């Protein structure tokens, strides 16, 4: 990737709202009334490999920028009730997953390390009682550095976790104050060193660009510090400012945010700094060392994208557990209740029921477009002849409307045709969401519900 995208005309033209495409159709299109038996049948009918996601919503402090589903509390006992509900949920899924092998487990949130040692052990015991794990299953967890220390890292390693992701966001003290998340560089440095000492296989650092008070000089310092920590992977996310949807973001003054041009400049700055440090740009928002499995999967065009972002996991189904968690198995997507009370209400009955709030059955057209969008988001190219053969369609005819929508991207050299291959150019990579959106049959009605692409 190069920084040739830093162009005022492109910003003015393409900085529109659009999905991140962790799924297609997106989660905003899920509808109420999705029957639990569909979810159970989808799991029974799916292949043998399963990926699990567990959402742990509790946080001790509110971060103003956060758009995740979380519950702010300092009461440790609240997690006990939540673990009991998770156990009911696992039991309801157990029979449908009896023939499955879990290849990957990920804890997200919220703050998964809100759980204390006893609760973490209990949760892993529960998971292993209800699901069969492969001997080499990959266990990963998101960590707020303020909620972790050497002893907790050692426990996670003992429990089988091999990948950790530390939420850095930015090391600039002014930015940290503005987002209510103060965590000095030294705190993260100690944890990264501890993870290395404990032989974790991979360390990821999360960064966010577009935060309040971010500027080129401060972000340059953050990037230098991140490179000094020498992580295996870096996630570089665009801050999505949606105060109408996320109340905490109303504490961030619009005037404190970098404008679109400045924000794109921060992205260009990060791309340059990380590539000069030897990291390879993966997909839309990840960087990895050349020997990392993400990088290798991209080179082999085997990268995948799901609700957890870019992945090398070729699982047959992703099962989400916990409040607000999303699952995708076969032609079905479903999501749990987003609020704790209805989630508990379903699972704490005398006869517990799955706490599914809404879902969607993908049509054939959905599945075709989901495959196409995933290939563009992961590989930055699409062999249209091979794609047409796989799905038994005439590409130009089937996607006539989409190709017309794509025409401005061709004229602005965001994409180009190389024979039958549609290629996203270096100039177009930061705008890959715009390219993918040309093939989105739902976007026109839903566009205002998404964040800006920059």
Domain ranges of the chain: 17-318, 363-440
pTM of the model: 0.92
Helix (H) / strand (E) element for 329: namely strand 326-329
- Look up the CATH superfamily of 17-318: tm_1862 like domain (3.80.30.20)
| CA–CA separation, 409 and 382 (whole Å) | 15
Instruction: Give the integer Cα–Cα distance in Å for 326 and 27.
Output: 8
Nearest to 292 by CA among 304, 306, 282: 282
User: Mapping DSSP to helix (H, G, I), strand (E, B) and coil, where does residue 204 land?
Assistant: strand
Strand order in the sheet with 415-418: 381-383, 421-424, 415-418
8-state DSSP, 257: S
Residues 300-335 have pLDDT tens digits of 888 888 777 788 877 889 999 999 999 999 999 999
- What's the burial of 445, exposed, middle or buried (CB within 10 Å: 0-12/13-18/19+)? exposed
The residues with which 332 forms a beta bridge, in sequence order, are 329, 361
DSSP assignments along 368-404, one per residue: HHHHHHHHHHHHSEEEHHHHHHHHTS-HHHHTHHHHH
Sign of the C-alpha dihedral computed for residues 97, 103, 107 and 109 taken in this order: negative
pLDDT tens for 38-96 read 999 999 999 999 999 999 999 999 999 998 889 999 999 999 999 999 999 999 999 99
Q: How many CB atoms lie within 10 A of CB 101?
A: 17
pLDDT of residue 1: 41
Query: Which architecture does CATH list for 363-440?
Result: Orthogonal Bundle (1.10)
Residue with more model confidence, 405 or 12: 405
């Amino acid at each position: 990737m190069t920084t040739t995208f830093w162009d005022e005309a492109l910003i003015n033209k393409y900085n529109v709202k659009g999905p991140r495409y962790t799924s297609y159709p997106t989660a905003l299109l899920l509808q109420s009334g999705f029957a639990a038996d569909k979810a159970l049948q989808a799991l029974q009918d799916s292949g043998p490999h399963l990926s699990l996601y567990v959402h742990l919503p509790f946080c001790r402090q509110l971060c103003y920028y956060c758009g995740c589903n979380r519950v702010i509390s300092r009461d440790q006992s609240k997690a006990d009730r939540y673990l009991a509900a998770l156990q009911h949920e696992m039991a309801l899924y157990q029979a449908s997953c009896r023939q499955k092998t879990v290849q990957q487990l990920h804890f997200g949130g919220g703050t998964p390390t809100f759980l204390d040692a006893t609760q973490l052990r209990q949760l892993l015991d529960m998971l292993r009682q209800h699901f069969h794990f492969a001997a080499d299953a990959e266990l990963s967890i998101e960590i707020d550095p303020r909620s972790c220390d050497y002893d907790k890292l050692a426990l996670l390693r003992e429990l089988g976790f091999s990948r950790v992701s530390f939420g850095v966001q930015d090391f600039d003290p002014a930015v940290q104050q503005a987002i209510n998340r103060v965590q000095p560089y030294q705190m993260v440095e100690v944890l990264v060193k501890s993870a290395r000492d404990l032989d974790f296989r991979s360390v990821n650092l999360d960064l966010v660009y577009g935060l309040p008070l971010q500027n080129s000089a401060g972000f340059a310092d953050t990037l230098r510090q991140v490179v000094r920590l020498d992580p295996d992977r870096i996630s570089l996310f665009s801050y999505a400012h949606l105060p109408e949807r996320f109340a905490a973001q109303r504490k961030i003054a619009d005037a404190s945010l970098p404008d679109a041009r400045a924000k794109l400049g921060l992205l260009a700055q990060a791309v340059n700094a990380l590539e000069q440090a030897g990291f390879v740009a993966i997909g839309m928002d990840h960087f990895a060392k050349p020997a990392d499995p993400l990088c290798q999967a991209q080179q082999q065009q085997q990268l995948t994208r799901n609700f957890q972002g870019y992945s090398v996991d070729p699982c047959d189904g992703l099962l989400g557990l916990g409040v607000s968690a999303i699952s995708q198995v076969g032609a079905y997507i479903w999501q749990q209740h987003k609020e704790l009370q209805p989630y508990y209400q379903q699972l704490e009955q005398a006869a517990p029921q799955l706490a599914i709030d809404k879902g969607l059955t993908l049509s054939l057209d959905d599945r075709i477009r989901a495959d196409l969008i995933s290939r563009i988001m992961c590989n930055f190219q699409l062999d249209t002849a091979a794609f047409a053969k796989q799905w038994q369609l005439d590409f130009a005819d089937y996607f006539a409307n989409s190709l017309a929508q794509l025409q401005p991207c061709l004229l602005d050299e965001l994409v180009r045709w190389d024979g039958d291959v549609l290629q996203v150019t270096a100039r177009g990579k930061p705008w890959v969401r715009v390219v993918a959106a040309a093939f989105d049959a739902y976007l026109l009605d839903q566009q205002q519900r998404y964040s800006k692409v920059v």
